[in-house]
Structure 1
């Protein structure tokens, strides 16, 4: 090999190493594709428009007019800039271009949240006793998905029915734990029949638990499928098989220790504030982004653990499997806040099932 060739080869190797160092030091996660964009998409209007068209195709988006499309493009660009700026701060989580990328924060809040506490004081559970109060020697980690007590991630769509999905996830969990059978249950029945709640306009998990306990039970999803809108309560399904619960209990308010005790024994319905912009575009990692404790969304805690020194709670959402970590979010715990991150310790409850 000639000296000139050797110098050229060494220079190429040096440039390659520098490039790799730059990539490895980036704030973005190793699998860059999960974010839905690249650096080049931020450099010119043409590239941005091309990215928007690809995003529209991926999420089956269409608009009624050119004016609306241009308005959505502006929102998309603004959201993309926020996503990229956040990712470059090297947080413990990252954001991505999901199906909500053409929506304003206010529009997102109006369509996809649905915990309704206005004028609805929270009642205590069917028993004032917290059965897990004296639980000790909790495992370091729990994942009810691996234990077969969690069904697939579902999608509430543009209906404020998160409270029903949170309730159902917890009931599916305790039913599997007690009976050994994992049955996907009907959120639609709760929307149609739980009269203390407000269907697609919001509700509370405790009221939904009360409905299930006071009736003959909840039907399977396949027998009473989800419509993404309010329907009429179908009494004719009374002869079909149902899943029952004995009652429900509330986890002591603002006690992370109590939440962990309950979660070590079964999936738990929890309420959080999910209206933050980072939460809207969460794509992965242990979330510790900005959020308050004005509860506006019902979800289900299905496990807990730790990763790289970060303790977290595994939360099952109802925005489909393309949001977050295949429909889940790991929310930081041990934050030092009595109410927990996004208020997760404030209003937790779970169903009980004696047999």
Structure 2
């Protein structure tokens, strides 16, 4: 994309944003010229066949197959638009390419708003002068393997367990995999506005931490395995494996987020997932991504000083995000999103929580 087109797109983005409240997808469609949206669909049949084989897709009948093919072609166009406005990442075919944006949101997102309990404790301000240039809790053994929430809006539970798994590792030196299904089945905690954790219908990380405090802790995943469906609570307090000592809300300041990450372990984060349905790899740094539409719970595990973005001719510092859509999505299940120069892109700095763990009380 040349500099003139970049300037023109940014000017259009600003004019549309000033005119009213648009969704990210509406803005993308309006600011990208029709000729730029076009994509060669002559080989769409071939690409759809590869897609079905790679992701094991099958459909109930010819009508469903034809409908999904039409959605797939629409998503090829959408990926093309996304590529134009997020050139430092690669966008294309993913396992979600046969889903409409609405279906994707209903099945794979699930973060509720408002984001925080008013009573949530604020994390203390930490020194930031000696932060490492690059940091990754995966290298230190504090992060379990990438999990898969399936078509259940339980992202919030994976963000919660990931943060507590890291905190438990810091407290005990032991990495364990905790039960998301316990939260899906048993956690119905509500915030002061009556927004409640509701299994596959969504929830909040802070209310999940509040539930965990009240319940006494979470069981191991192997003792309470994930089903990806709402079920009857089977919690056994005698099998608690990790417990929450306290949790708090981190400042939106990026240096404070980095300091809390380094000191306290992986952080529970909310994000606007508008660009994630078509994300393949690279550092995502879209020209537009609202910080006011957080809809997905993820885990912040690290950061890097420089992810090379050749189209923008400079290195891009980034956050490292663990997702819960399996290893076949993104960079082996991870998402890189820019930090630093573009403050709070996609709201990644807006909803951040840290948690501390007690040592396990289980046998």
* TM-score (norm: length of structure 1): 0.81
Q: How does 1:1-355 map to 2 (within 5 A)?
A: 45=42, 47-84=43-80, 86-87=82-83, 91-117=87-113, 122-125=117-120, 127-128=121-122, 130-196=123-189, 197-235=197-235, 237-252=236-251, 254-265=252-263, 266-274=265-273, 276=274, 278-289=275-286, 290-293=288-291, 294-307=293-306, 308=308, 309-337=315-343, 340-355=344-359
Structure 1 unpaired stretches of 5+: 1-41
Q: Distance in 1 between matches of 2:202 and 2:337?
A: 23
1:69 offset after TM fit, Å? 0.9
Q: 3-state SS of the aligned residue for 1:353?
A: strand
Would the alpha carbon gap of residues 105 and 335 (structure 1) be closer, same or farther in structure 2, given more than 3 Å must change?
A: farther
1:147-202 deviations in Å (ceiling 9; x for gaps): 10000111111111111000001001111122111101100001111111111111
1:105 offset after TM fit, Å? 1.2
1:54 offset after TM fit, Å? 2.4
1:85 offset after TM fit, Å? 5.4
- Does the aligned pair in 2 maintain the 1:216–1:242 contact within 8 Å? no
Q: 3-state SS of the aligned residue for 1:71?
A: helix
- Does the aligned pair in 1 maintain the 2:302–2:321 contact within 8 Å? yes
- Does the aligned pair in 2 maintain the 1:335–1:341 contact within 8 Å? no
1:145 offset after TM fit, Å? 0.5
Structure 1 or 2, whichever has the larger Rg, is: 1
Would the alpha carbon gap of residues 220 and 270 (structure 1) be closer, same or farther in structure 2, given more than 3 Å must change?
A: same
Q: Distance in 1 between matches of 2:40 and 2:285?
A: 29
Structure 2 unpaired stretches of 5+: 1-38, 190-196, 309-314
Q: 3-state SS of the aligned residue for 2:318?
A: strand
* TM-score (norm: length of structure 2): 0.79
Q: 3-state SS of the aligned residue for 2:355?
A: strand
Question: Which structure 1 residue ranges, 4+ long, deviate > 4 Å from structure 2?
Answer: 42-45, 84-90
Q: Distance in 2 between matches of 1:233 and 1:146?
A: 35
1:354 offset after TM fit, Å? 4.9
- Does the aligned pair in 2 maintain the 1:124–1:250 contact within 8 Å? no
1:36-65 deviations in Å (ceiling 9; x for gaps): xxxxxx7564x3223212211221111122
- Does the aligned pair in 1 maintain the 2:144–2:176 contact within 8 Å? yes
1:263-307 deviations in Å (ceiling 9; x for gaps): 122100010111x2x321111111112321111111010001122
Q: Distance in 2 between matches of 1:217 and 1:206?
A: 14
Q: 3-state SS of the aligned residue for 2:269?
A: strand
Q: Distance in 2 between matches of 1:43 and 1:350?
A: 46
1:134 offset after TM fit, Å? 3.3
Q: Distance in 1 between matches of 2:130 and 2:41?
A: 56
